[in-house]
Amino acid sequence: MTDELLLAKRLAAIETEIADLRRLARLDALGSDPVQRKFVLKSLQDAVQAALDAASHVVSEERLGEPISNRDVFLKLARGGAVDASLAERLARMAGLRNVLVHEYAEVDLDRVRTFVEHDLGDLEAFVAAPRQAYRLR
């Protein structure tokens, strides 16, 4: 059975990171301001990690199969009907970005990060909406 409190906490964490990024990120300063760069990269990492945690919980509890990678967690959600396939594919790419942020900090493509913050945060919001609706969470 899905732990709705755990799931709600992870979804709230995603929303907090998105709100912070939208309110505080100065994308024009990513290349020149190390504090801003660390804030943006860590916020993205935390948002995607919270999405992975939430997705992993649903995949496990709904018995959607054993994911072979972080990327596969989102694809399993789509195969189980929890999110649509195109959103799952975009989320899977976010898992790849998270891996880069965690493991290759010095080699992060700041243009990719900037584009992500400017255009792709809505995908995380769409992800949050899916389990909220399915489990009738606030």
- 18, 124 in Cβ contact below 8 A? yes
Rounded to 5°, angle at Cα 138 from 93 and 113: 25
Cα 32–chain centre separation: 25
Q: How far apart are CA 105 and CA 133, in angstroms?
A: 35
- Dihedral of CA atoms 40, 14, 101, 80 in degrees, nearest 10, equals -150
Query: pTM for the complete prediction?
Result: 0.93
Q: How far apart are CA 68 and CA 73, in angstroms?
A: 8
Q: Would you name the residues annotated as active-site residues?
A: 98, 103
**Domains of the chain listed by start with CATH number:** 4-134 (1.20.120.580)
**At 83, phi and psi to the nearest 5?**
-140, 160
Per-residue pLDDT 10s for the chain (138 aa) are 668 899 999 999 999 999 999 999 999 999 999 999 999 999 999 999 999 999 999 999 889 999 999 999 999 999 998 899 999 999 999 999 998 898 875 689 999 999 999 999 999 999 999 988 888 876
Rounded to 5°, angle at Cα 68 from 134 and 48: 55
